[in-house]
Amino acid sequence: MGLLHRARAAVTGRLPVKTARSRLEAPLASVSFDDFPRSAWTTGGPLLAKHGARASYYASGRFCGAVEDGIEYFHRGELKEIEAASHEVGCHGFGHIRGPQAASDALDLDFERNALFLEQELGGFRASSYAYPYGDVSPRTKVLAARRYAVSRGIYAGVNAGNIDLAELRAVPIEARRWRPDRIDAAVQAAKARRGWVIFFTHDVSPAPTPFGCTPEMLDYVLQSLAGIEVLPIKHAMAKAVFGTA
Ligand SMILES: [Zn+2]
């Protein structure tokens, strides 16, 4: 992420587009996988099951069946398996484009293209939640996403508590390139102290992860640190935070 992107993300992260007052009476957590590399499901799935956690998988149609830069992405049919295991399938756009650099009609077309892809894979399916590719947002793209999705997740670090922005939920990375267990602990503590909703995001789950992914041990560490906290897919967690129900 370049300096301009960082500056823009830092500013727009403070400009809420769709604010809701959290009704949470206890901390809540979500775990999410972006793009997503196949190992997020084949290796991450069993770890989630071990901890009784349900996650959100943000799929970009462009990656289905693809191998890019040596990374194997999800296969056809795996979204069905993910849904059958009570995880959430969310939208990450079809082409994995940077929203702020795309015209509004091009971005809308990309949303639509991924909606068609997800519908073909899952049958009569409509994604409730979205994750911004690269976490890159502008006030304009936040409004566009908010029109289409009940909830959108960014990568602006922090815990969602008090007034939360449903157009850009904050999220904490689980990434090999900046693995900091103390920051995981601090985020979980903040969620407990503020009755907040802590969301984690990563990509692949592999013994030799990409810089943006994690090892099975890292994911296990996060899930272990969430012991005693309900871990729900983002759309279910959103319902609980906004309506007080899951
Ligand atoms: Zn992505």
Residue 231's DSSP bridge partners are: 29
Distance (angstroms) between ligand 1 centre and the Cα of 193 equals 30
Average pLDDT over residues 222-246: 94
Distance 11 CA to ligand 1 centre (A): 21
Determine whether 109 is exposed, middle or buried from the number of CB atoms within 10 Å of its CB (0-12, 13-18, 19+).
Answer: middle
CA distances (Å), 179 to each of 154, 194, 214, 221, in order? 19, 24, 8, 11
Instruction: Read off the pLDDT band of 15 (50, 70, 90).
Output: confident
Structure tokens at 152: 């959108």
- Asked whether 18 and 165 are in contact (CB, 8 A), the reply is yes
Q: Distance, CA 202 to ligand 1 centroid (Å)?
A: 9
Ligand 1 centroid distance, CA of 111 (Å): 14
The Cα–Cα gap between 73 and 22 comes to: 35
> If you write DSSP's letter for every residue of 187-243 in order, what string do you get?
HHHHHHHHT-EEEEEES-B-SS--TTSB-HHHHHHHHHHTTTSEE--HHHHHHHHHH
What is the whole-number distance in angstroms between the Cα of residue 196 and the centre of ligand 1? 25
Question: Once rounded to an integer, what is the mean pLDDT over residues 202-209?
Answer: 98
Spatial contact of 201 and 40, defined as CB atoms under 8 Å apart: no
Angstrom distance (rounded) from CA 115 to CA 106: 14
Cα(97) to centroid of ligand 1, in Å? 9
CA of 10 to the centre of ligand 1 (A): 19
How far is ligand 1, taken at its centre, from the CA of residue 25, in Å?
A: 32
pLDDT tens figures, 107-138: 999 999 999 999 999 999 999 999 999 999 99
Instruction: Determine the distance separating the centroid of ligand 1 and the alpha carbon of 230, expressed in angstroms.
Output: 25
Ligand 1 midpoint to CA 236 (Å): 21
Give per-residue pLDDT as tens, 149-195. 999 999 999 999 999 999 999 999 999 999 999 999 999 999 999 99
Kindly report the pTM of this predicted structure: 0.94
Ligand 1 center to 30 CA (angstroms): 17
CA of 232 to the centre of ligand 1 (A): 20
